[in-house]
Structure formats: C-alpha cells, structure tokens
Amino acid sequence: MTTSTSTRADVAFQRCISPHCEATYGVDEVLTACPACGQLLDVAYDPDQLNLPKSLSFFEKKWSQRTDPLAFSGVWRFHELLPFASREKIVTIGEGQTLLQQADSVAKFTDMLPGNLYLQYEGMNPSGSFKDNGMAAAFSHAHSVGAKRAACASTGNTSASLAAFCSVTGLMKAIIFVGAGKIAYGKLSQALDYGALTVAIAGDFDDAMLRVKEVSKQLGIYLVNSVNPFRLEGQKTIMYRILEALQWEVPDWIVVPGGNLGNSSSFGKAFAELYEWGLIDRIPRLAVINAQGANTLYELYERRGLRWNGGSPNQQIIDDYYTELDRDHKRASTIASAIEINRPVNLMKCLRALETCRGVVREIHDQEILDAKAQVGAGGFGCEPASAASVAGVKLLRQQGVIQKDEKVVCILTGHLLKDPTATVAYHGTDQDQFNKVLGSRGVKRAGFANRAVQVANNLEEIVRSIQMYS
Ligand SMILES: *Cc1c(COP(=O)(O)O)cnc(C)c1O
Ligand SMILES: [Zn+2]
C-alpha cells in the first residue's frame, strides 16, 4: 500500500457539522465556520477514495521506515486516516513521539486496580504539549494554501506550538494573542524565545479569542485555533497512538481535561471514523473534566441537560447561560490556566463527541487538581495543572461509581510539568506568602502531597544529619 502523492481535493473536503446544513467546501478553502449557517466545519473524506488499511496493525510497519520524517512523525505515520494534505506540503517538527505509561501508584490514588490506569504523556511533544499534534496538521494546511503569517489566541500552549513550528521551519511568521498575565511562564518563555510576535491583550483568553478572529479576518492571516478543522485532524492521532500502545485494544474510558474542547471533539471524531471504517469494533467512553472555575461544559451538559440532539442542540440553554455569565461579570478562574476558558469554541463538536462516546462531564476544584498533579509527579513524569484534571476526574468518577476499578482507563496528560513551574513550586514550597498568592487566592487550602525542600545550614554535619533523618 502506498501513500498517494496527490490525494487531497479528490478525497478530502470540508463539511458543515450541522445535519440540517451539511454544506460542503473545498479542502483548500480557509474557513473557521460554515459561511452558510455559521456552524463549525469538519474535515471529511470520501469513503470511496480513502486508501484505508485492512487493519490498524498496518501502522506498526511504519516503524521500519523511520528515516522518512513522515513515518517518524506520530501524526503523519497515520496519514491514511487524515489524508487532506499532499505529501510534499506536509510539515513535521518531530511531533507525536509520546508515551503511554501504566501508572500503578496513580491507579491506587484514584482507587483503580493496578494495571488499569494509563497516562498518555502528550507533554513529551517538541513544544511540550499535545497542541503539536494539531499544529502539525493545521500548519501543513496553512502551508498548502500558501499562508505566510499564522495567528492564534492562546492560554499558552497553542502559541508555544505555533511559535515552534514557525521557528523550526522558517515557513511563516507567528502572531499570537494572549491575555496579559494569564499565561504561565514556561509557555510565555517559549513564544518569546521562538521569536513570535506576541500581543498581550488587557483581558483574558475569551477576549483574545474574539480579537484574533477579527484581526485575522481583517488582515487575511491564517488562524490556527481549534476552530480550524484541520487542527482537530492532527489531534485524532493521540487516540491512534493510545490504541497502538494498547496493541489495538480499545480501552473502556478516555479521560481528558476540557478547555476549548478541541481534544474531546477530535477524539470523538477519531473513534466515530474508525468505527465507521470498520477498523475498531467498539467505541470507548469519554469523560471531559472541567475546572470548577471554568465549568461551562459541566454546567450546560450535566446541570442544564444540553445535548447534541441529532445536531439540534437547544441554543436557548447556551444563550441563557452566556447572558448570565455576562450579567454576573463572571470570568473563568482556575490555577489550570490551559483550561481557563468560559466560552469553548468547540462546544457543538464536543456535544457530538459526548454522544458518540456516551460521555460524561465533571468539574474539579483546584485543590483536587493540584493534589492529583502531585501524585502524577510522584508516580511518573509529572504534568502541568490542567492535565491533572483528568486524574482528579477519574478519582471522582470512581467515588461516584461511574468508572469501575477493573475497567481500562487512559488519562490524557496534555502538557509538560515544566510549563508552569510557579504552580508547582508554590505547592511544594515552604513560602507561605507565595502559597497564598498563587494558590490560596484560588481557594486552595493545603498541599496534601507537598514535598518540601529541607532547609539546612551550609555545614557538613548538619547536612549529613538531615539526610539520615529524611531517607
Ligand atoms: C489546550 C490545553 C488544554 C485544553 O484542551 P482543549 O482541546 O482546548 O479542550 C488542556 N491542557 C493543556 C495543557 C492545554 O494546553
Ligand atoms: Zn452550515
């Protein structure tokens, strides 16, 4: 089986997600919403033109072709499952070399049986978050259509990823919009060091998102936020790699933090397609975890009963909720800055994914997020605060009896531990002022799993005594 060099318009197109519209558009068009009805768009494929393998194990063979950068990439290895770009336009910076870890100590913390909880470390991507999966796809599309400038609004990781793709390839200039003071230092460092034009807006992510849409439209700049349907095609590959690591056994649950809901949406699409294409015989359940301080999806889905409803969700429920947010001047607020979002742009697609995967949504307090994060660090490679919402979510769903302890559960750890050192050091540190400033202000009361540095005089005897005492 070969990868065609000119698939694209012959196999891929864009299609409105609303079943009442289903307008289609060419794969070369640059759109972030359906011009006919305003809904989000999918990248869709003509099943007769797809060059699908007979079984998913086909993809294992690509390991023997690793000297080809497209076989090395954890995204483009699966090109047959997202064949919208022609080979010569595909861009890779080595994304998707990530790891699925069986984490028994975290299993214990969440009341799962040993061997049943897995952590998918997407922080091991080149820019340190899962965003590189989606960026590989969106950036390739941008390159295919000849874009020279690309923009995004970001809580930090999308901008770090875009900036890295621009600096590594030299193909485009990155223009990023962030809420001033709303972005963790690790992420801001990346944007600055990679040379992105960084626009810090006096506002939060939701403000930056509105502005970047206006500005990119006005100036004709390619937008890489997850309203871009090509982003989500790349993020499907996180699911493919998990299946591969589980030797193509479908787990019972995928648990993911929810911010703009791009990941959850793309996971639902990935499984719906694999099922439709006859490559899997069952679909896992999906749990999307909000932070309590940014809980729009939880509020709408679990409390107000909003559903995909065959593509006709009750828009009144959404409008009412956003009106209330505005009336009460309620802004998103959580230590998990990557999911500090009140108006998730992929809400509709996520509702569809929740239907596909018989999903549930939960909200988690920052206290639980940070305690779970400390457990991920103590039992593995660590993660940034937002990522740990997934683990805290499993713990809650175990307590509620929604997840069974002998089910197979995969938590998506979306970002690297080093993205947000401020939160980690405040949690483990002995500086009470710092704790209060960074965490106390969010209602975090204790550091349940703090690993404090031992303070000791610069004196050999004392140093030796401390080590004897603590180890
Ligand atoms: C972007 C991001 C999220 C949120 O993902 P969505 O796809 O927007 O829901 C969660 N965690 C981290 C670390 C992120 O960078
Ligand atoms: Zn439409």
Q: Rounded to an integer, what distance in angstroms lies between the CA atom of residue 29 and that of residue 119?
A: 37
Judged on CB neighbours under 10 Å (0-12, 13-18, 19+), 457 is exposed
Per-residue pLDDT, 4: 39
Verify whether ligand 1 is closer than 6 Å to residue 263 (CB atom): yes
Identify the band that residue 3 occupies on the pLDDT scale cut at 50, 70 and 90. very low
Lowest mean pLDDT among 105-109, 318-322, 466-470: 466-470
Residues of the chain with pLDDT > 90, as a percent, come to 94
Q: Rounded to an integer, what distance in angstroms lies between the CA atom of residue 290 and that of residue 303?
A: 13
Identify the band that residue 114 occupies on the pLDDT scale cut at 50, 70 and 90. very high
Question: What is the average pLDDT value for the chain, to the nearest integer?
Answer: 95
Per-residue pLDDT, 444: 95
Verify whether ligand 1 is closer than 6 Å to residue 258 (CB atom): yes
Per the rule left: phi > 0, alpha: psi between -120 and 50, beta: everything else, 292 is alpha
Q: What is the 3-state secondary structure (H, E, C) of the chain?
A: CCCCCCCCCCCEEEEECCCCCCCEECCCCCCCCCCCCCCCEEEEECCCCCCCCCCHHHHHHHHHHCCCHHHHCCCHHHHHHCCCCCHHHCCCCCCCCCEEEECHHHHHHCCCCCCCEEEEEHHHCCCCECHHHHHHHHHHHHHHCCCCEEEEEECCHHHHHHHHHHHHHCCCEEEEEEECCCCCHHHHHHHHHCCCEEEEECCCHHHHHHHHHHHHHHHCCEECCCCCHHHHHHHHHHHHHHHHHCCCCCCCEEEEECCCCHHHHHHHHHHHHHHHCCCCCCCCEEEEEEECCECHHHHHHHHCCCCCHHHCCCHHHHHHHHHHHHHCCCCCCCCCHHHCCCCCCCHHHHHHHHHHCCCEEEEECHHHHHHHHHHHHHCCCCCCHHHHHHHHHHHHHHHCCCCCCCCCEEEEECECHHHCHHHHHHHHCCCHHHHHHHCHHHCCCCCCCCCCCCCCCCCHHHHHHHHHHHC
> Which residue lies with its CA nearest to atom 14 of ligand 1?
338
Verify whether ligand 1 is closer than 6 Å to residue 256 (CB atom): no
Q: Among the atoms of ligand 1, which is closest to the Cα of residue 156?
A: 15
Q: What is the mean pLDDT of residues 111-129?
A: 98
Residue 243, token pair as written in the block: 């299946």
Q: What is the mean pLDDT of residues 381-396?
A: 98
Identify the band that residue 6 occupies on the pLDDT scale cut at 50, 70 and 90. very low
> Which residue lies with its CA nearest to atom 15 of ligand 1?
157
Task: Report which residue type is found at 25.
Answer: Y
Q: Using an 8 Å Cβ cutoff, are 115 and 104 in contact?
A: yes
Residue 368 dihedral angles phi and psi, to the nearest 5°: -70, -35
Per-residue pLDDT, 63: 87
Give pLDDT tens digits for 275-305.
Answer: 999 999 999 999 999 999 999 999 999 999 9
Q: What is the mean pLDDT of residues 102-115?
A: 98
Per-residue pLDDT, 56: 97
Per-residue pLDDT, 471: 87
HSE toward the beta carbon, residue 456, CA cutoff 13 A: 16
* Nearby residues for ligand 2 (ion, Cβ within 5 Å): 16, 18, 21, 23, 34, 36-37, 39
Per-residue pLDDT, 182: 85
Looking at the CA of 134, name the nearest ligand: 1
Per-residue pLDDT, 118: 98
Identify the band that residue 181 occupies on the pLDDT scale cut at 50, 70 and 90. confident
Dmax over Cα atoms in the chain, in whole Å? 77
Residue 432, token pair as written in the block: 């009470």
Q: Where are the domains of the chain?
A: 99-127+232-422
Q: Rounded to an integer, what distance in angstroms lies between the CA atom of residue 367 and that of residue 357?
A: 28
User: Which fold would CATH assign to domain 99-127+232-422?
Assistant: Rossmann fold (3.40.50)
Looking at the CA of 288, name the nearest ligand: 1
Write down the pTM of the prediction: 0.96
HSE toward the beta carbon, residue 413, CA cutoff 13 A: 34
pLDDT at residue 1 tops 50: no
Residues whose CB falls within 8 Å of the CB of residue 471, separated by 6 or more in sequence, listed in order: none
> Which residue lies with its CA nearest to atom 13 of ligand 1?
415
pLDDT at residue 7 tops 70: no
Verify whether ligand 1 is closer than 6 Å to residue 334 (CB atom): no
Verify whether ligand 1 is closer than 6 Å to residue 257 (CB atom): yes
Q: Rounded to an integer, what distance in angstroms lies between the CA atom of residue 293 and that of residue 234?
A: 29
Per-residue pLDDT, 470: 87
Q: What is the mean pLDDT of residues 123-135?
A: 98
- Which among 374, 318, 311 has a CA at the least distance from the CA of 345? 318
Give pLDDT tens digits for 227-247.
Answer: 999 999 999 999 999 999 999
Q: Rounded to an integer, what distance in angstroms lies between the CA atom of residue 128 and that of residue 131?
A: 8
Verify whether ligand 1 is closer than 6 Å to residue 196 (CB atom): no
pLDDT at residue 141 tops 60: yes
